[in-house]
Amino acid sequence: MSKIIAVPSETKGGIEDNISGHFGHCGIYTLVKISDDGTKEIILLNNIPHSEGGCLAPVSLLKDNGVDVIIAKGMGMRPLMHFNEMGIKAFYAGECVTVNDAVSAFEKNELPQFDTDYTCQKSH
């Protein structure tokens, strides 16, 4: 069974792009679809404008595109709760710089699960 990992990206997306600082404000998501045999497919998904539903709308966008996991540097409490409700596991990117860094760390089980310690303190 394949798994789709979403990583908010800074510029045009892709495996070598830098991770965006806040998942809901990025312009594009790099989706990495990992098949059972370990092959990876890169899919670029444009984010919707932040004003359309705040940070909850991007959560729904990712769910509608089959995302199983999000790796992010920042998000508010409401989106984190929404990810949990939708069954999307959220992980904290920590010191990872690029999408590739984050996905590699995830595959090695080196990323902590995103929890309230990592959330932004203002509501989104």
The domain tally of the chain equals 1
Residue 92 has pLDDT above 90, yes or no: yes
Residue 120 maps to a domain: no
> Which domain, by its residues, includes 80?
3-114
The whole-number average pLDDT for the span 68-85 is 92
- Of residues 50 and 83, the one with the higher pLDDT is 83
Q: Judging by beta carbons within 10 Å of its beta carbon (0-12, 13-18, 19+), is residue 6 exposed, middle or buried? A: buried
Model-level pTM? 0.91
The whole-number average pLDDT for the span 93-101 is 96
Residue 122 maps to a domain: no
pLDDT at residue number 115: 86
Residue 83 maps to a domain: yes
Complete DSSP assignment for the chain: --EEEEEEESSS-STTSBBPSSGGG-SEEEEEEE-TTS-EEEEEEEPPPTTTTTTHHHHHHHHHTT--EEEES---HHHHHHHHHHT-EEEE-TT--BHHHHHHHHHTT-SPBP-GGGS-SS--
Question: Six-digit token pair at 108?
Answer: 């090695």
The whole-number average pLDDT for the span 67-90 is 94
**How far apart (Å, rounded) are the C-alpha atoms in residues 86 and 57?**
12
Residues 37-76 have pLDDT tens digits of 989 999 999 998 766 567 788 999 999 999 999 999 988 8
**How far apart (Å, rounded) are the C-alpha atoms in residues 118 and 85?**
18
CATH number of the domain bearing residue 35: 3.30.420.130
